[in-house]
Amino acid sequence: CMSISIAPSILSADFCNLERDLDAIHAADLVHIDVMDHHFVPNLTIGEPVVKRICEVSKLPTDVHLMIDDPDRWAPQFAQNGADSVTFHMGATHAPVRLARQLHDMGTKACFAVRPAEPVEPIFDILSEFDMILIMTVEPGFGGQKFLDNQLGKVRRLRDEITRQGLNTRVEVDGGVSPKTAPLVAAAGADVLVAGSAVYGAPDITEAITSIREAAEK
Q: Is 91 annotated as a binding residue?
A: no
Q: Which of 190, 193, 196, 216 binds ligand DX5 (CB under 6 A)?
A: 196
Q: State yes or no: is 174 an active-site residue.
A: yes
Size of interface with ligand DX5, in residues (CB under 6 A):
22
Segment 153 to 192, residues that bind ligand DX5, using CB under 6 A: 174-177
Chain centroid, CA 124 distance in Å? 19
Q: How far apart are the C-alpha atoms of 57 and 64, rounded to whole Å?
A: 14
Q: How far apart are the C-alpha atoms of 30 and 114, rounded to whole Å?
A: 20
34 binds Zn ion (CB under 5 A): yes
Q: Which of 4, 5, 6, 9 binds ligand DX5 (CB under 6 A)?
A: 9
Active-site residue (options: 34, 37, 63, 191): 34
Q: State yes or no: is 69 an active-site residue.
A: no
21 binds Zn ion (CB under 5 A): no
8 binds ligand DX5 (CB under 6 A): no
Binding site for ligand DX5 (CB under 6 A): 9, 11-12, 32, 34, 65, 138, 140-145, 174-177, 194-198
